[in-house]
A and B are shown apart, each in its own frame.
Chain A
Amino acid sequence: MNLISKSAYINMGYFQPFPFLCLSERDDNMEKSKQRPEPMQALTLYKHSRCLYFQEEEKLIKKELASLKEQVASPNTTMRQMKEIMVRAIYCEMLGYQASFSYIHAIKLAQQGSVLEKRVGYLAVSLFLKETDEFLLLLVNTVLKDLQSTNLIEVCMALTVVSQMFPKDMIPAILPVVEEKLTHPKEIIRRKAVLALYKFYLIAPNQVQHIHSKFRKALCDKDPGVMTASLHIYLQLIKESPESYKDLTGSMVTILRQVVGGKLPLDFNYHSVPAPWLQIQLLRILAYLGKEDQGTSEVMYDVLEESLRRAEMNHNITYAILYECVKTIYTVHPKSQLLEKAAECIGNFVLSPKINLKYLGLKALTYVVQQDANLALPHQITIIECLDHSDVIIKRETLELLFRITNAQNVTVIVEKMLEFLRLTSDDYSTIDLVGKVAELTMNSVFSLGGDVMQPDIPNNFLRLLAEGVDSVEDRQLRLFAVDSYVSLLQGETAKLPQRFLQVISWVLGEYSYLREEDSDPGSVMRLLARLLDQRHTSTETRSWVLGAMTKLCSSPVSVALARDVCERYLSWAKSVWANIPLCVTFEILVDSSLSFLDGYVSEALAAGAAPYKSPHQRQEELVQEKALSLEPYGLSLPVSLSSCSITDRLTDRQSPTLLSMSSGLSGNSTELSHKEGSTALKLDGVKRVWGKDGYLAQQQSAGETPIPQVELPSPLLSPQSPPSQTQKPSSGPEPDQEKRQLASSLFVGLGSHNSVCLVRLPSTVCSVSIADQSNVFKALFKPFYINSCRSALHNLLDTTTVASEGGAATTTLQQTSQRTLDHTTSNGSPHVEGTEQRVEAGGPLSLIRGNDLHPAPALERPRDLPLTSHLPAELSGLARSELTTLCSDHDPSLALSACRVYKEDALVLLVFISNNTDSTLHQMALQLTCKELEVYFSDWPLTVSTGDYGKMWLSFSHDLKQNLRLVTTEHQEPLTATLDALKGKLHLHIVDVIGSEGIVACRLLQGQGQGQPCLLHCRVHADSLAVWLRSPVPELPDSLLYHCQKALTET
């Protein structure tokens, strides 16, 4: 190496001649640095000016390349020199300078050089050339020759180059030789051959179809290295089609067990962990195999547990295994015991001070919350902390996690957090990624779910997001995505979409519909919007948005025709609502205040003989005057309530000159119209002047203040940790902790309540506990009077409502003590229902409990049922209910407690009556309600169907059950009717029809899993028993219903 080129060589960049390896065990070595005087001198020359340095670098490299080119061309250059040239060419290429002249020589070197030169030749080739290069064809023969060489090094080199890049169509030429290498005596060759074949599989899968059996041989190779290499193949194969490789589960489990058990030779250990990479690979394979397959999963539980146990936290690499293990456990068919341990593991990761582990912990959480969102609950505070972490990557991962647990209740907070992050980040990638997510969140399910209760700034933020981006490809894609998805939404049923969502849709469509280039029919969007306008449920505000969008779209002839039609109907109305255009939208909406864009149509219409526009009151007046003239179409198309402002019947002001001038001012920027006004007498009087030359005039202030009605978020955002008052009015200086907790509560709301926290809804209208949505029933304990007696009695009551309580499931106890004073004024003995409203802080939705009546009951022997039932709240009195059960009046004569169940359409209401049995007045009473979570797995509900529907349903249900039941015999009824009536009374089944000795009955599951699923019964009197045939789409339903029928019948 001559001196000039050498200095050029090393000056390609700053460098430090110090060892860069900083291993903890090598700290002492760090002191020693190598002495390399030559480069140091060269370095100092250019050290101070980077600019100069870059120029110099280019100069030096160019010079170097020129000299290389010269040498390459020279016939005297030996192979040995050529090798040196190649190394330098490699370096230049790496720095980004083309050295294409050397390519052919690299191939030559690989073809002709000695082993060592050949190696450099191959290396150069694999770095310079790409799979598509035609030069490569020159290499095929060389590779083939080297593959068959007796020199192991040559074979290895050939295999390496083959796996790096090889022309696809040339694979058949060398495939047999590579295959042959699978049986080579040297394991390193076998190993490389396996990987080379894997590479072939990736490039051209169909060409290696026939050697799958050989892969299996490789898997069973006596050398663990070969086996490890073959796992690459199997990971891929199993990922592609897990079904075809289920039989390998046993082998994989055995291998993992052996590895974990330390059966491999010691040199496979890494930091005394046996073959960690192999373990990771195996765990991944097991995850693919066991996914959604209980049988396969069961095989691997033991070994998963074993590796979880063995992986003690001592080195980085064990965390890698643990992480993989946890992921596998959550991927395969769940086993609760393992899940617990895995969850614990995730906890350790998340809480770890090591940032890498924290990152992985969050990743693992992100992965597992998709299955069970509640797993995020224990880590609330950590997650909140991570949101403010200094590391952007951690932050992003946290947002990703939040993205997964988003529901209708916390979407506001999460989207806010995301936007916050977006504002701070400058990184393109994360912006695009997140924008997509925010878009998805806002646009799709959650938007339509929570649409109308959302704070108005969320859609605005979202729109800003769409609008703000520079016109890059990604932005266009996002916008196009939005447009497309909205169009398809509008094509469907729009009646259920929230108004605010419709507004967003209109804006987006108006703004970005032009992106739908492929759509040849520009009128389609227009038609969709027009349809939206015509729908009754579209609010005034939304209509103004829609109209805004339509004006933007009036560019094509089709749209114009449509717009004309629309504008005729909405002209007057449109004028009024322009005033309502939400000004809070910060981006520009060009408002043509005078509606000049309509002038053309108006004039055309007028020319065609249409009647000039008349304001509503004018029409009315005319109506009054002429009595006969009907302007139905106009009258009808006018929205009844024209929102807040403009067209009001200001008959008195109508004639005032100011208003007349205003009306001409209306068309200030549209001379055409004003001219026409003069000639054709378009009457605009009576229209309040809201838009002038400079835009909106008078009401700007007020419109700015209340552009969109502020929708107060109702209480669902509140959770136990944050009392309502705090959320609504944040205290002036909340402690950071408090803030975090508050944030946590808003972020994680809606997670726990569905499952672990008792969801008891207490409707405000009755003192009752309605057992609604979820599978939670409660036990109410009344203290201090009747603790024990009450509990059992009430429990019985609940039991009869086909509630199965599970003691173990009662984890969350809702305790609420409400002290209240109940006035009671009873002079004539009639009970007086009055209650003080009391807030119950419950784990579920906030609800109100209204006081029950306390009234003196004259005597115990009085007919109990009558007076009490007469106090049923009016809205419940008409509904089916159970008998009023006395819970515990015997223990304490002064107070009586009774309860009954009322079956509402969507809820089971438990009514509890507390009555004062003494004559004395009760002024105060402490009432404590303790609700425990119980699991309802079954509860029936009448299903009202006709006989015809019944027949159809009957045929469509697949799960059936037949059983004979006891008949109920009464004196005055047919046995069948009596039995069915008994069932109806007990279980509230719906008797569809009774024909002769047969009866059909229907019911549906009220709660729990499979809620709302029907079950049909066909009953037939057979000898002295009732043959029942049950059918349902749910497998367990007939069985459990039958049980309850039996129980009900034995009780009668």
Chain B
Amino acid sequence: MIKAILIFNNHGKPRLSKFYEHYSEDTEQQIIRETFHLVSKRDENVCNFLEGGMLIGGSENKLIYRHYATLYFVFCVDSSESELGILDLIQVFVETLDKCFENVCELDLIFHVDKVHNILAEMVMGGMVLETNMNEIITQVDAQNKMEKSETFIFQSPRQDR
């Protein structure tokens, strides 16, 4: 299960945080800080896995992260997730963001927090990986965007039958 998904920039400023487990607000902030502390001091040419944020569950959990230009994407997962699988899921996530925002940058995450959350919700639901296919995710998100344009339109089917 995925415990938390965090995005922060090179300075440790959170850009997105989503917790799938219950933590107090203070703990959440502490987790973000600690995770940033752990991740930021790692070189570029080391592995993408980290074990042991004390706060987020110790040895049972691991951090899997990717660093893109200014942002760190960190997934905190338990032992039931495949490390490389999650690593590619991050890639899928970022590619999806890129498709939805056209050359996504940090600003998009700042200005469209809700949209990013919605995209994420199509990928991961309640800590479980729901969809890994980028096109499917985009179909869902597009359908919602359409809805935005014509709010009164009663929406029927966002997804074509297979």
Contact status B147-A320, CB under 8 Å: no
Residue contact A19 to B69, C-beta cutoff 8 Å: yes
Asked if B69 and A94 make an inter-chain contact with CB atoms under 8 angstroms apart, the answer reads no
Q: Is the CB of B49 within 8 A of A390?
A: no
Q: Which residues of B contact A10 (CB under 8 A)?
A: 107, 110-111
Task: Name which of A189-197, A414-422, A961-969, A1029-1037 contacts chain B.
Answer: A189-197
Given A116-B148, A160-B125, verify A21-B95 contact (CB < 8 Å).
yes
Residues of chain A within 8 A (CB-CB) of B25 are: 93, 96, 98
Q: Does B157 contact A152, Cβ atoms closer than 8 Å?
A: yes
Per the bound structure, the CA–CA distance linking A152 and B156 in Å amounts to: 6
Choose from B82, B97, B125, B140 the contact partner of A320 (Cβ within 8 Å).
Answer: B82
- Residues on A with C-beta less than 8 A from B59 are 433
Q: Judging by beta carbons under 8 Å apart, are B144 and A317 in contact?
A: no
Q: Judge whether A90 is part of the interface by a CB distance below 8 angstroms.
A: yes
Q: Check A280/B54 contact, CB under 8 A, given A39-B107, A355-B47, A391-B46.
A: no
- Are A276 and B70 in contact (CB-based, < 8 A)? no
Query: In the complex, what residue of chain B is closest to A132 when comparing beta carbons?
Result: B22
Contact indicator A29/B103 (Cβ below 8 Å): yes
Asked if residues A316 and B87 are in contact (CB atoms below 8 Å), the reply is yes
A913 at the interface (CB under 8 A from B): no
Per the 8 Å Cβ criterion, residues 28-74 of B in contact with A are 29, 38, 42-43, 45-54, 58-59, 68-71
Question: Can you name the residue of chain B whose Cβ is closest to the Cβ of A91?
Answer: B113
- Contact string, A211-241, partner B, CB cutoff 8 A, digits 1/0? 0000000000001010001001001000100
Given the interface pairs A20-B71, A20-B106, the reply to whether A429 lies near B85 with Cβ below 8 Å is: no
| Residue among A17, A20, A151, A276 making CB contact with B154, cutoff 8 Å | A151
A773 and B89 alpha carbons, distance in the complex (Å): 52
Within 8 A of A (CB), among B92-150: 92, 94-95, 97-98, 103-107, 110-111, 113-114, 117-118, 121, 125-133, 135-136, 140, 143-144, 147-148
- Is A120 part of the binding interface, using a Cβ–Cβ cutoff of 8 Å? yes
When the two chains form the complex, which single residue of B42, B47, B53, B113 contacts A87, counting CB atoms closer than 8 Å? B113
Please give me the residue from chain B that is nearest to A270 by CB atom.
Answer: B132
Let me know if B13 and A119 touch, CB within 8 A.
no
Q: In the complex, what's the smallest C-beta–C-beta distance from B84 to chain A, in angstroms?
A: 3
**Contacting residue for A316 out of B46, B84, B129, CB 8 A:** B84
What sequence of 0s and 1s flags, for each residue 5-27 of chain B, a beta carbon within 8 Å of any chain A beta carbon?
A: 00001110111111010100100
Which residues from chain B contact A265 at a C-beta distance below 8 Å?
A: 162
Q: How far is the CA of A29 from the CA of B103 in the complex (A)?
A: 8
Contact of A19 among B15, B17, B103, B147 (CB under 8 A): B103
Contacts of B127 in A (CB 8 A): 199
- A268 x B155 contact (CB < 8 A): no
Given contacts A164-B20, A355-B45, A355-B46, contact A429 B52 (CB under 8 A): yes
> Which of A335-343, A356-364, A450-458, A540-548 is found at the contact surface with chain B?
A356-364
Interface residues in A77-97 (C-beta closer than 8 Å to B): 87, 90-91, 93-96
Q: Given A16-B69, A268-B133 in contact, is the A359-B110 Cβ separation under 8 Å?
A: no
CB–CB B47/A120 < 8 A: no
The answer on a CB contact under 8 Å between B130 and A191 is yes
Annotate A19-50 by CB proximity to B: 1 below 8 A, 0 otherwise: 11111001001001110100100000000000
B1 to chain A, nearest CB (A): 8
Partner of A153, one of B18, B58, B126, B158: B158
- Would you call B22 and A359 a contact (CB within 8 A)? no
- Expressed in whole angstroms, the Cα–Cα distance for A32 and B103 within the complex equals 8
> Which of A320, A323, A355, A394 contacts B88 (CB under 8 A)?
A320
Q: Is the CB of B9 within 8 A of A116?
A: no
Please determine whether B43 and A36 come into contact, CB atoms closer than 8 angstroms.
no
Interchain CB contact under 8 A, A94 and B113: yes
Partner of A20, one of B50, B68, B128: B68
A844 to B12 Cα, complex, angstroms: 55
The answer to whether B83 and A21 have CB atoms under 8 Å apart is no
Cβ distance B33 to chain A, nearest Cβ, rounded Å: 9
State which size class the interface on A falls in.
35 or more
Are the CB atoms of B47 and A393 closer together than 8 Å? yes
Complex contact B85–A317 (CB within 8 A): yes
How many angstroms between the C-alpha atoms of A460 and B148 in the bound complex? 70
Query: What is the CA–CA distance of A317 and B87 in the complex, to the nearest angstrom?
Result: 9
When C-beta atoms are compared, the residue in chain B nearest to A318 turns out to be B84
A259 → chain B closest CB, angstroms: 13
Residue in contact with A18 in the complex, picked from B51, B69, B89, B148, CB distance below 8 Å:
B69
Q: How far is the CB of A437 from chain B (nearest CB, A)?
A: 11
A20, A160, A235, A359 — which one has the most chain B CB atoms within 10 A of its CB? Answer: A20
- Do B47 and A359 touch (CB < 8 A)? yes
Q: A119-B118, A195-B126, A396-B51 are in contact. Are A94 and B17 (CB under 8 A)?
A: yes
- 1/0 contact trace for A104-130 toward B, CB 8 Å? 000000000011100110010001001
Asked if B114 and A120 make an inter-chain contact with CB atoms under 8 angstroms apart, the answer reads yes
A163 CB-CB contact with B under 8 Å: yes
Task: Evaluate whether A356 and B48 lie within 8 angstroms (CB atoms) in the complex, with A13-B13, A192-B125 already known.
Answer: yes
Is the beta-carbon distance between B105 and A277 smaller than 8 angstroms?
no
Closest B residue by C-beta to A162:
B126
Which of A16, A90, A267, A316 has the most chain B CB within a 10 Å cutoff?
Answer: A16
A58 at the interface (CB under 8 A from B): no
Residue A324, interface by CB 8 Å: yes
Decide if B128 touches A198 in the complex (CB within 8 Å).
yes
Q: A18–B109 Cα gap in the complex (Å)? A: 12
Instruction: Give the distance to chain A from B54, nearest Cβ to Cβ, in Å.
Output: 5
Scan residues 274-316 of chain A and give those whose CB is less than 8 A from a CB of chain B: 276-277, 280, 284, 316
Q: Using Cβ atoms and an 8 Å threshold, which residues of chain B touch A14?
A: 9-11, 13
Cβ-defined contact, A19 with B104, below 8 A: yes
Inside 8 A of A223's CB, which chain B residues have their CB? 162
Q: Which residues of A contact B144 (CB under 8 A)?
A: 116, 119, 153
Inter-chain contacts of B125 with A (CB < 8 A): 159-160, 163-164, 192, 195-196
A95 to chain B, nearest CB (A): 6
Q: Are B106 and A16 in contact (CB under 8 A)?
A: yes
- Which residue from A34, A127, A164 sits with its C-beta under 8 Å from B105? A34
Q: What residues on A are CB-neighbors of B54 within 8 Å?
A: 428-429
Which residues does chain B contribute within 8 Å of A131, judged by CB atoms? 22
Known contacts A18-B69, A195-B126; A188/B106 CB under 8 A: no
Q: In the complex the two chains form, is A123's CB within 8 Å of B117's CB? A: yes
A359 to chain B: which residues have CB within 8 Å?
47, 49
Return B111 CB to nearest CB of chain A, in Å.
8
Query: Is A319 close to B, CB under 8 A?
Result: yes
Which of A120, A196, A225 meets B131, CB within 8 Å? Answer: A225
Report how far A87 CA is from B117 CA in the complex, Å: 11
Which residues of chain B are near A130, meaning CB under 8 Å?
Answer: 22
Q: Which residues of A contact B82 (CB under 8 A)?
A: 277, 280, 284, 320, 323-324
A770 to B127, CA, bound (A): 61
A323: chain B residues at CB < 8 Å are 82-84
Residues of A within 8 A of B84 (CB): 316-317, 319-320, 323, 356, 360
Contact B22 A320 (CB under 8 A): no
- A484 on interface, CB distance cutoff 8 Å: no
User: Is A123 a contact partner of B114 (Cβ separation < 8 A)?
Assistant: yes
Which A residues are CB-close (under 8 A) to B143? 153
A358 and B106 in contact, given A164-B20, A164-B126, A235-B80 (Cβ under 8 angstroms):
no
A-B contact pairs, 9 of them (CB 8 A): A34-B107, A123-B114, A123-B121, A152-B157, A164-B126, A186-B157, A320-B82, A323-B83, A430-B52
Which residues of A pack against B, CB within 8 Å? Answer: 9-10, 12-23, 26, 29, 32-34, 36, 39, 87, 90-91, 93-96, 98, 114-116, 119-120, 123, 127, 130-132, 151-153, 159-160, 163-165, 186-188, 191-192, 195-196, 198-199, 223, 225, 229, 232, 235, 239, 265, 267-268, 270, 276-277, 280, 284, 316-317, 319-320, 323-324, 355-356, 358-360, 390-394, 396, 427-430, 433
Known: A18-B70, A33-B103, A94-B113. 9 other contacts (CB 8 A): A15-B9, A15-B106, A18-B106, A19-B69, A20-B68, A119-B114, A152-B155, A317-B85, A324-B82
| Top-3 shortest CB links A-B | A13-B13, A163-B126, A320-B84
